[in-house]
Structure 1
Amino acid sequence: MGKNNVWIGYAVGQFASFFLTLLRMIPLALANRLSRSRVPREGEVIISLTSHGNRINRVHYTLESIFRGHEKAPVVLWLDRADYEAEWPVTLRRLVTRGLQVRCSDGDYGPHTKYWGQFREVAGSGTRVVTVDDDMIYPEWFLQRLLFIGDLRLDAVIAYRAHRIELREGKMLPYTKWTAADTCAASVLHFATGVSGVMYPASFIDYVVAQGDVFTGLSPRADDVWLHACALRSGHPIRQVYAQPRHFAVVPTTQVGALVVGNTLMGGNDEQIRRVYTQEDMDLLLGAHDRED
């Protein structure tokens, strides 16, 4: 009976979460039809994301949640060539008239598409880039609070959600054994996860661009892995906005075939982690672990 109650409670919780998300989507759908609010086309911070396939038909929910933000910034949606040249849904075309910029990626970079083209565009300009996922509903204060913390730590990668890399006997534990970060102190042992949004400082962007596209062979399906390795090597610690990670609402039906299935549940992250991190990287992590513990 106890187990049944647990599963009933879980099912009720999931249904309630789904229902609340649907309620959040209604004003976003109305805004897409009626709003005239715009975002600037230039700025010192740029929000960048990618989408693909059928997900493009629902990306307007994410974009509308960003457009309504207390702080405004240019928003750039990167598409691969097939999606860029296909007919866009009317929901996306409406956003273009209000300032959304849609760019065509010059290659097949998978999840790296959400940052790679944008990083190369702004490298050397002092511009910061915020990356978001195309299946989330972000709160109105999303950019405002990233900027507040980012202005305090211009040397750090700022994320709403991060894991702590767990080490034991000089080795990295599997990705599923990593724990949620529980502090807003900056550390190279923190691993930013892109789903809730990440802001990258200009100096970090310059470093990543200088490394070229070697990620296509090392971690083609794990952009978070490559970006953390770059942060570690370039001396950019990761700071969580709050002491506890923040999880935002997910647009229903967008998670089918999501990267989390292969990267987390099937061990894809661990395979790519083994290819990316060198012994020198491990020495840096172990040194940070010794200092912080």
Structure 2
Amino acid sequence: MNFIREWNRARKYRKRIRRCRSEIATRSVIGDPHQLTTPLVVSLTSYPPRYPELALTLRCLLQQTVKADRTVLWIAEKDIAALPAEVRDLEKDGLEIATCPDMRSYKKLMPLLTEMPEATIVTADDDVHYGPDWLASILDVHMDLGLKVVCGRGHRMALTPEGFPDTYDKWDQNAPGGREPSGLIFPTGVGGILYAPGALAPIATNWELAQQLCPTADDVWFYWMHRLTGGRAAMTGERRRVLEWVKDPTGGLLTVNSAGGNDNQIAAMIDHFGWPGP
């Protein structure tokens, strides 16, 4: 019975993938200007194992109902030569390709924070589908509530009786939202995260310290960086269904972090910075 249920689930997933691929192939969206008073930049990173499907995600991001001023793909200097021609071709549609040192997943935010501290930055992942109103939904919450951090998907942290973060497996994963700001909302990068100017503590770009404390969990690092400013985050209001173009059989960093990696790195952040509280 479990086999049949899993087979049906996989079949439905493949059908969704085909539908989204078709939608992207025919999507023709000319985005409206945004209403922010700051530059708006969509930023992401990738690396060679993700290159075969990267253009699909980039097309999603370049055809949003709200147009970003820049859409920047950050690639490690050692990986730039392997970038596929179909990705390079998207430069004519407004994609910018930038190189930086290999900072792994931190590449999607740290270089841009240094280059454009005055910008509103929305990060995205490189291996999932984004609907045409993805960016608009995040901007709506930001503008309605005036919050400096808004995410399309997040977890709700659980606390121990002593008031500290409980283990990651106790959290409400991919929590239902509502737009209520909370210190217990833990933004996850796959749904997109908006960072307005001043959202993060100045130490947010300290790559050496980030690698010492959070080598595989940039989400943990940037959660602490916005909480150190006294900030709270909000979600866009609905559970986000994540659609990966290709399922990674190893689970990647998600598997590492879910199997105790997040707990270890959260403990390191508490030891170094303390716990800001809910």
TM-score (norm 2): 0.88
How do 1:17-36 residues align onto structure 2 when only pairs under 5 Å count?
A: 17-29=13-25
How do 1:1-293 residues align onto structure 2 when only pairs under 5 Å count?
A: 4=1, 6-29=2-25, 44-73=39-68, 74-84=70-80, 86-105=81-100, 107-123=101-117, 125=118, 127-170=119-162, 171-180=164-173, 181-182=175-176, 183-205=178-200, 207-208=201-202, 212-213=206-207, 214-242=209-237, 244-254=238-248, 256-264=250-258, 266-278=259-271, 281-282=274-275, 284-285=276-277, 288=278
Larger-gyration structure (1/2)? 1
CA RMSD for the aligned pairs? 2.4
SS at match of 2:43: strand
Q: Do the aligned residues in 2 keep the contact of 1:193 with 1:224 (CA within 8 Å)? A: yes
Change in CA separation of 1:38 and 1:237 when aligned onto 2, cut-off 3 Å: closer
Q: Do the aligned residues in 1 keep the contact of 2:151 with 2:235 (CA within 8 Å)? A: yes
Deviation at residue 122 of structure 1 after TM alignment: 0.9
Question: Which residues of structure 2 form unaligned runs of 5+?
Answer: none
Change in CA separation of 1:279 and 1:252 when aligned onto 2, cut-off 3 Å: closer
SS at match of 1:137: coil
Deviation at residue 165 of structure 1 after TM alignment: 1.3
Deviation at residue 278 of structure 1 after TM alignment: 3.7
Change in CA separation of 1:187 and 1:278 when aligned onto 2, cut-off 3 Å: farther
Deviation at residue 210 of structure 1 after TM alignment: 5.8
Q: Can you list the C-alpha shifts for 1:28-84, whole angstroms capped at 9, x where unaligned?
A: 3567xxx797999xx721000000013122111101111221111111000111112
Q: Can you list the C-alpha shifts for 1:269-293, whole angstroms capped at 9, x where unaligned?
A: 11111111248633x32xx3xxxxx
Q: Can you list the C-alpha shifts for 1:97-142, whole angstroms capped at 9, x where unaligned?
A: 211001111x22111111111111111x2x1000000011100100
Q: Paired residues, what number?
A: 269
- Mapped to 1, the partners of 2:159 and 2:195 lie a distance apart of 25
Q: Do the aligned residues in 2 keep the contact of 1:57 with 1:91 (CA within 8 Å)? A: no
SS at match of 1:267: helix
Change in CA separation of 1:36 and 1:152 when aligned onto 2, cut-off 3 Å: closer
